[in-house]
Amino acid sequence: MFQPIVALKDVNIYQGSNLVLSDINIVIGKGEFVYLVGKTGTGKSSLLKTLYGDLPLTHGAANVVNYDLKELTWKTVPFLRRNLGVVFQDFQLLTDRNVNENLKFVLKATGWKDGKLMNEKIADVLDKVGLGNKGLKMPFELSGGEQQRVDVARALLNSPKLILADEPTGNLDPETSDEIMQLLFQIGKDYDTTIIMATHDYMVINKFPARTIKTEDGKVLDNASITI
């Protein structure tokens, strides 16, 4: 049965008083992998920020992981974000602590208190991303690909229904990019996790084809065709 994880109806997105995207109508189901493409400045980041509650929704109706974005308040945004995982291009790992402590920091920030359960969860997500033996390493001791895997592990900590990946292969060589893409597709398949990935890398899209959404001329085009 189709289960919507993201549903936007007649949505307009603003940055301040500036209209960035208009008349967005998109439904993305559980377990779907979707690329988000578009030139710089066409609204990709604004769309992602709206989905995780960083930009307030003022026009239209939007539901993300069963949260009504129009009803969000500063008190409820953290609850929305506990159901989301975000993977960044620049990893954003804390450089003064090891991998385990990086992940523990996120768990504590999202309300976890039991040390034993936290350690079990950290071991579990590191296993999932193939870094089961790297928990005591400092970020500078890891390759770029390994740091990106830690970033994916961090996004998995709260068993999210939706992962938003913002240019996750942007700083990686082609071989490492392939490994991260295979990992993301495997996670989506194994855990029925919905993944929306913003990217400029059309080589990746050609190699790992999936539904593609494009921001262009103030609109969002679904099932967009990609030309290199």
Query: What pLDDT digit, counting tens, does each position of 72-131 carry?
Result: 999 999 889 889 999 987 878 999 999 999 999 999 988 899 999 999 999 999 999 999
Strands of the sheet with 162-166, listed across from one edge: 84-87, 162-166, 194-198, 33-37, 211-216, 219-221
Query: What pLDDT digit, counting tens, does each position of 29-66 carry?
Result: 999 999 999 998 899 999 999 999 999 999 999 999 99
Tokens coding 59: 């026009």
Query: What pLDDT digit, counting tens, does each position of 155-213 carry?
Result: 999 999 999 999 999 888 999 999 999 999 999 999 999 999 999 888 999 999 999 99
CATH topology of domain 4-221: Rossmann fold (3.40.50)
| Positions of E strands within the chain | 4-15, 18-29, 33-37, 59-64, 67-68, 84-87, 162-166, 194-198, 211-216, 219-221
pLDDT tops 80 at residue 26: yes
Domain ranges for the chain, please list them. 4-221
pLDDT, average across residues 9-37: 96
State pTM to two decimals: 0.92
Q: What is the CA radius of gyration of the chain?
A: 17
pLDDT tops 90 at residue 225: no
d(CA 190, CA 8): 26
pLDDT band, residue 228 (cuts 50/70/90): very low
What pLDDT, on the 0 to 100 scale, is given for residue 227?
57
Q: In sequence order, what are the residues at sequence separation of 6 or more whose Cβ sits closer than 8 angstroms to the Cβ of residue 138? A: 95, 97, 98, 99
d(CA 26, CA 63): 11
Three-state secondary structure call for residue 11: strand
How would DSSP label each residue in 82-97? HTEEEE-TT----TTS
Three-state secondary structure call for residue 178: helix
